[in-house]
Amino acid sequence: MRIIFFGTPEFAVPSLRKLIEAGHRILAVVTQPDKVKGRGHILSEPPVKAIAKQHELTVFQPKGIRSDEFRSTIMSYAPELIIVVAYGKIIPPALLKIPRYGCVNVHASLLPKYRGAAPIQWSIIGGEEKTGVTIMQMDKGLDTGDILQMADTPIAHDDTAATLGARLSVMGADLLIATIDRIATGSLRPIPQQGAASYAPVLKKEDGCIDWERPARDICNLVRGTYPWPGAYCYLSGERLAVLKSGIVEGRGLPGQIDKIQGDNVFVATGDGLLVLAEVKPDGRKVMTAGAFARGRRLKEGAYFEKRI
């Protein structure tokens, strides 16, 4: 099938690879502009662009996709289908109407739950026991289109946004290929979304700030769901401390107070239960165990982490 692919991050790479391996004709790849990253301010290209270049595909990186000029460019390729996987911008109605088979999206949730930009992160933060991928026929709404196919997977107790995202990206790629095959044969019947919708907005840095009044389970979910970005964090005597790994045990105490320091772990009281800090990173320092951090700061049981600064 003649396809134009819209995608940007690592999550979209397996889908593009599978399309190429399946023998579909990728007319062009549309991705976000290169961005400056890191302390060295190095110009970095999106992962999708890197794969497209390896396969000598035509790449477009427009700052905007709503212009008549860009629409004309897409029309000139006469695509039969547009595939969208974590592109990063809403596809305007003018583009949705171009392909014969419309536009198909790979979305990392079981729609209508977690519509929006960060479904993987918010599904973990929300304490969901399972999630999945939905192949959706796109319309003008935000992830409101009819469902073409869907697959689910359990969320493991130690899953992070990184590990779950990697698994869902492969699931989505496999399901996408199966969906396209059925679109081509006309054997697929779109099904309207059913049930209550929920939303997964773009994560902001402040979303990672730990509220010690929350139950330990909720905070642990926050740590997992915000890893690797924006990351969960708290403060101790004004110093920002990123929390990379944590666990939960039973216990009681004043929220934010260190209950005990034991080996590599620091046990902190919350609104319900104890949060076990396992791996942390102080600002400007390397990753270390929470126990090493506590010993380096000469922390004592009874000291407090601040809720916010």
pLDDT of residue 308: 63
pLDDT tens figures, 167-215: 999 999 999 999 999 999 999 999 999 999 999 999 999 999 999 999 9
For residue 153, which of 120, 182, 181, 176 has the smallest C-alpha distance? 120
For residues 128 and 126, give the distance between their C-alpha atoms in angstroms, rounded to a whole number. Answer: 6
pLDDT of residue 40: 72
* 99 vs 4: CA distance, rounded Å: 9
Chain region(s) in the chain for CATH 3.40.50.170: 2-185
pLDDT of 1 strictly over 80: yes
Tell me whether the omega of the peptide bond preceding residue 79 falls within 30 degrees of 0, making it cis.
Answer: no
Average pLDDT, the chain: 96
pLDDT at 38: 73
Superfamily of domain 205-296: Formyl transferase, C-terminal domain (3.10.25.10)
Average pLDDT over residues 34-63: 92
Q: For the segment 255-278, what is each residue's pLDDT rounded down to a tens digit?
A: 999 999 999 999 999 999 999 999
pLDDT at residue 37 is higher than 90: no
d(CA 18, CA 170): 9
Note the pTM of the prediction, 2 decimals: 0.95
Cα distance between residue 229 and residue 260, in whole Å: 28
Q: What is the pLDDT of residue 259?
A: 97
Q: Does domain 2-185 have CATH number 2.60.40.420?
A: no
What residue type is 89 in one-letter code? Answer: K
* End-to-end CA gap in the chain: 54
Q: Write down the pLDDT at residue 41.
A: 75
**What's the pLDDT tens digit per position in 92-128?**
999 999 999 999 999 999 999 999 999 999 999 999 9
Residues of CATH 3.10.25.10 domain(s) within the chain?
205-296
| 45 confidence band (pLDDT: 50, 70, 90) | very high
The pLDDT, as a whole number, for residue 231 is 98
Are the beta carbons of 235 and 305 closer than 8 angstroms?
A: yes
Q: 197-210 in b/e burial notation, b at 16+ Cβ within 10 A? A: ebebeebeeebbbb
Percentage of the residues of the chain whose pLDDT score is greater than 90: 95
pLDDT at position 276 is: 98
Is 164's pLDDT higher than 80? Answer: yes
Answer whether residue 309 shows pLDDT above 60. no
- Rounded Cα distance, 253 and 260, in Å: 11
